[in-house]
Amino acid sequence: MSDTPDSAVRMYIDTHRAAFLEDLAAWLRIPSVSAQPEHDGDVRASAEWLSAKLKETGFPVAEVWETPGAPAVFAEWPSDDPDAPTVLVYGHHDVQPAALEDGWHTDPFDPVIRDGRMYGRGAADDKGQVFFHTLGVRAHLAATGRSTPAVHLKLLIEGEEESGSPNFRALAEQHAARLAADAVIVSDTGMWDETTPTVCTGMRGLAECELQLYGPGQDIHSGSFGGAVPNPATAVARLVAALHDADGRVTVPGFYDGVAELTDTERALFAELPFDETTWLRTARSGAASGEAGYSTLERIWARPTAEVNGIGGGYQGAGSKTIIPSSALVKLSFRLVAGQHPDHIEQCVRTWAEAQIPPGIRHRITFSPATRPCLTPLDHPALQAVTRAMGRAFGKKILFTREGGSGPAADLQDVLGAPVLFLGISVPSDGWHAPDEKVELDLLLKGVETAAHLWGELAAALR
C-alpha cells in the first residue's frame, strides 16, 4: 500500500466507512420536512443531532442558530495556520415531504441499504452530501498529519432550503462577520452521472407562487347553473394554458428581461458531455422531451428560465362524479430563473400578467414564497480549479463542467459575503430528488468524502 496522501485518505475512509453510514442512516431517520408544520420538531431535532455530531467530529464550535423559522447549524474549525484562507461550506438539513403512499418501496424515513445504495428521504438531497464533509475533514487530518484543517473551515447548514430558504438571507446578514469567507463551497448539487464526474458552475434561481381563484361563494349545481357563470377551474386552466406560447416560451411580459444568453463557449462545454436523450428520458421517466424551441435539452434545463405547474386543483377529485361548478381552484407555479433575472422583477411581471388574465366574476389571490436568486461561478476563478483538482484526485478521471437546473440560496451567500461560490456535489440524476425512492450511491458518497479530504489542501494553495 502506498503512503501518498491520496492512498492514506482512501485507507482512512475504508476504516471508518461503516460507522459513517450508520451515522448517516440515523440522521435520515429524523423526518426534517420543513414544508409541513407538523414536522417542526423534527427539523429542530435534526439540527441538534447534526450540531452534536459535528462536535464529535472535532469542530471546536458547533451551534444551533435560531431563525424566525427552522433552525440552522453553524460550525467552525480554525486552522492553526493564521494565513490560511477561510472557506464556508453550505448545505441544508431539511428535506422534501415524503410518504410511503407516494410510491416508495420502503419507508422514506427508515433508510435501507440495497444494491450499494442507501434509500431514504434526504439521502442525496441534502443530508448525504452535507455528511460527507464530516468524514472528509477527519480523513484530511489523518492523511496530512495535521491537527487542524488547512483552511479556516466553517459550515452553515440551514433548515429551510426545501421551503425556499425564507429566512436564510437575513440569517447570513445577521451573522455576516462570523460567516466571512474567501470562498463558499455549496454541497447541494450533483454531477453528470455515475461514471462522469463533473463540477457544477451555476444554479438556476426560483420564484414560486400559489394562485387561488374564487368563483361562486360555494360549490353550485352544474345543471342549474352550468353554462351561465364563470367556473374557477376553467379559469385556472386557461391561465395555465396561456403561460406558454406555441414555441414553449413563457408569455409573461418582461419575463425574459436581462436573461444572460448562452455563449458559443458555454454551448460547446455543454456539448462535451456524453448526453444521451434516451437515457435521460429514462431517468426522467418521461415519454418525451419538450420545451422552449431552439434549445437543446441540457440548455433548457441549465440555462433557460421556465414556468412549471407543481400542482393544480379545484372541485371534486374523489371517486365517482359530482356535478358541481367548484367554488375555487388553485395552481402552484414555480419559475426557474437564470443569471440576469431578478425574482422581484419576475414576481411583479407575474402578478401583472395574472391579474390581466382573470375573467369577470372570478376573484383571485396570489401568494409568492420567498425566492432564490440564480448564480454562476466565473469559469476562470482559481478556486474552481482547486475543486476540479480535488475531484480529479478522488475520481482519477478528467472532470467536466455542468450547471444545475435546481436552485439554492448560494446567490445570497455570494451577495452577503462577497465571496465566490463553488459547487461540490456527488449526487446523480437517478437519485430521485423530491421523488419516491430517493437514494444515494454509496461509491459516489465515499468519493465525495475523498474529494472533501483533498479539497482543503487544494483550496489553501489556490487561495493563499
Return the closest-CA partner of residue 23 out of 107, 106, 133. Answer: 133
User: Binding residue for a copy of itself (CB under 8 A) from 1, 18, 319, 356?
Assistant: 319
> Which range binds a copy of itself by CB under 8 A, 77-85, 112-120, 168-176, 324-332?
324-332
User: Binding residue for a copy of itself (CB under 8 A) from 21, 184, 211, 236?
Assistant: 236
> Which range binds a copy of itself by CB under 8 A, 113-121, 259-267, 315-323, 455-463?
315-323
Minimum distance from CB of 190 to a copy of itself (Å)? 8
Minimum distance from CB of 214 to a copy of itself (Å)? 9
User: Binding residue for a copy of itself (CB under 8 A) from 53, 300, 373, 447?
Assistant: 300
> Which range binds a copy of itself by CB under 8 A, 142-150, 178-186, 391-399, 435-443?
435-443
Give dist(CA 56, CA 54) in Å, integer.
5
* Amino acid (one-letter) located at 276: D
Give dist(CA 384, CA 386) in Å, integer.
5
**Rg from Cα positions in the chain:** 23
Give dist(CA 129, CA 190) in Å, integer.
9
- Give 136 or 425: the residue with its C-beta nearer to a copy of itself: 425
Residue 190 near residue 428 (C-beta atoms within 8 A): yes
Give one DSSP letter per residue of 328-389, joined into a string.
EEEEEEEEEE-TT--HHHHHHHHHHHHHHHPPTT-EEEEEEPPPB--EE--TT-HHHHHHHH
Q: Does 394 bind a copy of itself (CB under 8 A)?
A: no
User: Binding residue for a copy of itself (CB under 8 A) from 121, 304, 364, 454?
Assistant: 304
Return the closest-CA partner of residue 433 out of 117, 95, 175, 172. Answer: 95
Give dist(CA 367, CA 427) in Å, integer.
32
Residue 46 near residue 32 (C-beta atoms within 8 A): yes
Q: Does 227 bind a copy of itself (CB under 8 A)?
A: yes
Residues 185-214 that bind a copy of itself (CB under 8 A): 190, 204, 206, 208, 210
What contacts 459, CB < 8 A, 6 or more positions away?
Answer: 85, 87, 150, 151, 183, 383, 386, 387, 390
Instruction: Tally Cβ neighbours within 10 Å of residue 60.
Output: 11
- Tell me how many degrees the CA angle 166-168-174 measures, rounded to the nearest 5: 130
Q: Does 436 bind a copy of itself (CB under 8 A)?
A: yes
Residues 330-389 that bind a copy of itself (CB under 8 A): 330-332, 334, 336, 359-363, 369
By DSSP bridging, strand 400-404 and strand 198-203 are parallel
- Give 226 or 258: the residue with its C-beta nearer to a copy of itself: 226
Residues 239-258 that bind a copy of itself (CB under 8 A): 239-244
- Give 60 or 274: the residue with its C-beta nearer to a copy of itself: 274
Residues 129-188 that bind a copy of itself (CB under 8 A): 163-164
**CA 18 to chain centroid:** 27
Q: Does 286 bind a copy of itself (CB under 8 A)?
A: yes
User: Binding residue for a copy of itself (CB under 8 A) from 47, 150, 301, 463?
Assistant: 301
Return the closest-CA partner of residue 281 out of 461, 168, 429, 107. Answer: 429
Q: Does 31 bind a copy of itself (CB under 8 A)?
A: no
Minimum distance from CB of 296 to a copy of itself (Å)? 9
- Give 271 or 289: the residue with its C-beta nearer to a copy of itself: 289
> Which range binds a copy of itself by CB under 8 A, 68-76, 222-230, 341-349, 444-452?
222-230
Q: Does 454 bind a copy of itself (CB under 8 A)?
A: no
How many residues belong to the site for a copy of itself (CB under 8 A)? Answer: 101
Helices 5-28 and 40-57: crossing angle in degrees, nearest 10, is: 150
C-alpha cell of residue 301: 434545463
Q: What are phi and psi of 373, to 5 degrees?
A: -85, 155
Minimum distance from CB of 278 to a copy of itself (Å)? 13
User: Binding residue for a copy of itself (CB under 8 A) from 11, 170, 269, 312?
Assistant: 312
Q: Does 97 bind a copy of itself (CB under 8 A)?
A: yes
Q: Does 278 bind a copy of itself (CB under 8 A)?
A: no
Q: Does 285 bind a copy of itself (CB under 8 A)?
A: yes
